[in-house]
Amino acid sequence: IMKLAKSSSGVTYRVIDFLKRENLIDVDRLTTENNSSQIITNVNWKKILEEWSKEYSFQDSNSVVNYLEPRGIQEVLKNLKRFPKMEYALTGSIAAQRWESYAPSKQLTIFAKYPKDLAKDLGLREVIVGANVQIASTPDDSIYDRNSVEDGFSYASISQVVLDLL
């Protein structure tokens, strides 16, 4: 966990203790002759994401700019295939459609390392109302660590997509 989260052992142990106290994870102790360690045996992802979403807001936790593509989001998607996959991540309802289709997306939500450059290259116009594309930047590049590439698009991790929708 320390390596994945790029955090210190102290922070990692405090987080694990917190998650155990809140019944968000189950931990068993694994003891061998020379070592004793903890193994996470169950993670309550639904509850973790619900709790996390109480403190996270897509709009407030990121720098978000609204844009308009008059020809619709399908035009943006067509053009987006030209860009390096690790410089952006689709999120929101368009990304969720990979797991559950429910209604056509009317808005495209994207994380981008270079949001203004991406918007310019896609020919988007910045607007205050009537946006059909939102491009967000975040100070933490870890958003791109667990991207997946499918059908030529880069998608945020499932946990990030769920969090952004919540």
pLDDT tens across 35-82, in order?
Answer: 777 788 999 999 999 998 999 989 899 999 999 999 999 999 999 988
Site of tokens 């860009």: 83
Per-residue pLDDT, averaged over 139-151, amounts to 84
Distance CA 119, CA 155 (A): 17
- The whole-number pLDDT of residue 64 equals 96
Tell whether the model's pLDDT for residue 117 goes beyond 90: yes
Cβ count near 109 (within 10 Å):
23
Residue 16 CB-density burial (10 A; 0-12 exposed, 13-18 middle, 19+ buried): middle
8 A C-beta contact, residue 111 and residue 89: yes
Backbone dihedral region for residue 70 (phi beyond 0: left; psi -120 to 50: alpha; all else: beta): alpha
- Does the pTM surpass 0.85? The reply is no
- The whole-number pLDDT of residue 103 equals 73
- The whole-number pLDDT of residue 7 equals 85
Q: Percent of the chain beyond pLDDT 90?
A: 55
Distance CA 106, CA 67 (A): 13
Question: How would you classify the pairing of strands 88-91 and 133-137?
Answer: unpaired
